[in-house]
Structure 1
Amino acid sequence: MPYGGSRASVFEQVAASAVPAMSPGPSLPDLIAEQVHRTPERIAVSDAAGDDSYAGLWKASGRIAAHLLAHGVVRGEMVGICVPRSREMAAVALGVLRAGAAYVPLDAAFPDRRLRTMLERAQIRRVVTLAGYALPAAITDHEAALIEIGGDVAPQDGESPALPAVHGDDLAYVLFTSGSTGEPKGVRILHRNLVNFMRSMRDSPGFGEDDVICAVTTWSFDIAALELYLPLMAGGRVHVASEAELGDPDATMSLVQRSGVTVLQTTPTLLRLLHDEGRAARLAGLKLLVGGEAMPRDLANEAVRHCSELWNMYGPTETTIWSTIERVQPGDGPVPLGRPIDNTRIHLLDKDGHPVADGERGEIWIGGDGVADGYLHRPDLTAERFCLDPFAGDGSRMYRTGDIGSLRDGVLHFHGRADDQVKLRGYRIELGDIEAAALEDARVRDAAAAVRDFGNGSQRLVLYVVPREGGGDPVEQLREHLREALPAYMRPNHIVVLDALPTTPNGKTDRKALPMPADRGAHAAPAAEQPGDARIAYLAALWCELLGLDEARADDNFFDLGGDSLLAINMIARVERDTGKRLNVLAIATDPLGILADMLPGEGVAKRRGWMARLRGLFGS
């Protein structure tokens, strides 16, 4: 029912009242220890190189925890982790938790600048890695001590030494998300947040001893915790996909089938890709947990035809991975976000903080046991987004998501954002983060970022910049700067130079009035001559079709012309159908068109496959 007064006055009244102490409850290692006791010999974690039993994983993680304590790690300390994707990930992460510390995942693929910011903000004094793993310069140059774990983390004989007790109120990990001011912000997740989430997921959508999940998510993102820990507390198995296996969705799906996977967590974007390539049949028998962005109804209806179960998931990092779930059935209309998981409350509030009526739109606030402990070393941001929940009556807090939704018969529906945050290919991106990075370039006077729809389900980041007078064309220098400042998923596909940014009557940037890129990444001047190599001509034509270009040249980079990872995978599929040759997605990221063309079959092979003649007809070569 509505509460009286303004939102601020009510929150101030609640804040002034006594906050009852919450029971800390068990920690995540406590839940896993229970499963180790029940099924010590069952396989807990596997990868292409082998597997570890529950007992083996537990002993290995205990040995790592003791090793960390011997190197000075103290209870409550935040420890950086930078390890390759392998089954050792589980032992290292669990070892940090059992030492009473919290971990901060450091993705080696992130730009050095981003890593340095994370290391400094989290005040990391120690970084755990595996012996022989090549670390980025940002880590090796940092003052933090490196703690190397032997490449073989198998258990030694004998029991692990006594380790500190870990409680529900202890910090488990800190994940950095995109920040609207240009700096990433760290979200503090406690053990009790994780325990509530994992218990709820075990019950619904459900995970049992016979289930296997494939860990496919970069573990610097929060949903990776579900893949790593849910099987370990439920008695199932997690199979960790390597970086090489994740470079190609087709190879990933082959891995899923070979490894006996029953549960897969993914995004609507990857589902769309499998559908568009005619490979949706590979979903047969899988329970799919899908989230990170809105799920189109046509895609949901198609996926339901092939998989065993399809679940739509919703939730921000600040409320611990997923907060609502919905088993999707064939139908019409938007796919709902679903009902809250256990011990979770969904509030739909108007701009004054009053609950809206059933079916009306309001801002989504989330309360309950999943609400994080706030932002790391940012009390200002924490106070802005985390408020005491006046509806709970127990002193707990709720989180302001910035999403717009409606509740109909207890089911949550999504209606967009109230701010400039976007979700693209499952990644959460603050447009202000991109703009702030662009404004660091001395040639840029003003900047605005937006996500634009290029048709056929392709959405791309576009950065609009206004150069300083006399600064010349800033595009090439700016691209290089953004490569150093932003992770790959945040870099704009297109950079558009404008004389001025359009504004609304109140003087704010009017993102809706920003133009579509006119050149779509095209060149300023026409090429001096057409490519003489039919393989280059073939790839150039394909790039032009996929990216909406008039021209692509031998020294062009696919991503600088507006490509993204999904378009690259589309290109791989097209090339394989036409030539029988499967390109590596990593090669597309690093090689210009001309070098990439050298990887295709020669003229003799091409003729046998019947496509060279078509190329000569198209390009006159």
Structure 2
Amino acid sequence: MYLSLNRSERRLHRLKLWVCSGETLSKELAAKFFQYFGDHDGFKLANFYGSTEVMGDATYYVMEKYSQIDLFPTIPIGRPVDNCAVFLLDEEMKPSRETDTGEIWVAGQNLARGYVGGQAPEKFCNNPHASHPDYSRIYRTGDYGVLCKGVILYAGRTDSQIKIRGHRVDLQEVDRAVAAIQGVERGVVLSYGQQYENPEILAFVKLGPNVRLNVQRIESALKDVLTDYMIPQVIVVEHIPLLSSGKVDRQQLLKMYENTNNNDDTTIYLDYDYCDVKPEDMEAARALFETVGEVLGRSARGAISLSAGFYELGGNSLNSILTITKLRDKGFYIEISAFLGASSLGEVLRHMSTSPGGTEESESPKFDVVRMRHEHKNRVIEMIVSSFYEKSELERLRHCDVDRWDYAHFIEVYWEALLLADLSVVLTNNDGTPVAVVLNFDARDEPDVEFTWGMAKIMAFFEFLEGKVRDTMLPKGKGAILNSIMMATCSSLSPADNVAAIRQLEIATVNIARERRFLGVFATNTSPLTQQLGRDVLGFQILLDYQVNKYVDPNGDRLFAMAPDDLRAMVVWKPVE
């Protein structure tokens, strides 16, 4: 901006090499560079990438002409500097294919020994791809990259990938959508409340001079390019605070948000609209609206009213069960299927009652229940792979060489024994297509199977959790414990249908246990939804509640060290009367 103030003076034209490092180099800024200096006088713009742990910089890309700007989707971070090696690795520490996103790891003579006090040891580890002792150790940058035409493109921070209402969201994608809105001068997208049940996406927006945009218009524009669960709460600010380094002061923005919203977790101001509520329904409506407000908190999208839909307000599978549970605590009851199927809170209100309306088995089933048969095999494998390799939080955090096909192999090996036991259930929709499955065994009559190396580590973790509980706290002998070893649903199910399917599988398993005279059902759950459904609705007893990132395997490895503290594994039991 300074150079463009007076173009008649050729300022800084003897300075030929310019370096950008520490922040993303945008195409817009690179274009301004060449618009000012031109293409023909030997000016070079070098884009460097790195961090303190690798002595400042690890890769570079040099631009000498304006035409280079459009060679790639973004300005590359380039190739490794001398004496440095860069690896793009997937979740199993295997090299990513070209055009696939991989995490950036760095090795070489520029690598630090580690952090003071030995903190975060998982960031520095032995390099499985080293071909020379200078590269025997490797550092995890926490960034994503993509190999494109021989150079690396920066693809965002790993910590910019967050979970919102059960969906993974890349904050940088939201950031780009905000920045693209005409009239937005600067936007900063952050996540708030990852430690709570309902994290939010916040977009702090500074408008250009004389721009008339309000929050509603900005959010409306975002709805045209983002899916519902990605729409941020927009906050218009007069300025974006910066650190002394010139980088955005993200903590200051979050404090600003907290102060503005009285964000002390005791005072939350939400918009409750009781228009059209009949006097005789007011007590129940207040209980419903306030419960929805408690559950959704600041993430509630719009006024809580009779016409508002729970999912439109920001609800999801997990907090729908929490809402039903809290309503029961206040003396109001509603069947799960009625709550999940309601199009609005008004419809929820019509189904609410002050008396318990039957048992968990009394609701009309959403799907048909059938015993698992041979023709279900391919569909069962597909659902297990999708649910456990692609969606499960535990498996996504693994560093134990488990592959998606290990789960397919798992089913292949167990298949005949599962059919012979005749304890597993499949749910089908109207046309007979399986949409959910639960795999069950007699806990003391499971086949002896040798697993592949990665899968063996996963199964060793579950045996670590279940072994002592099963052997010291539960009935002895065959025919006593029905072990629910895996439960999976079709990825295409809506949040409401997903909850209904899981609930129906749990009830079907209890019914099988009762029919075959087992004394109870035993399982280990790592899914928060299944945990909450089992605990608060179906009456499972929690025998062990374990913090996953504390697990150390027999070799001394912390397989799930990167897991958040709130990721739990719960060993549960339900006696069958």
TM (norm. structure 1) is: 0.31
Relative to the length of structure 2, the TM-score reads 0.33
- Larger RCO (alpha carbons 8 Å, 6+ apart): 1
Q: Is the radius of gyration larger for structure 1 or structure 2?
A: 2
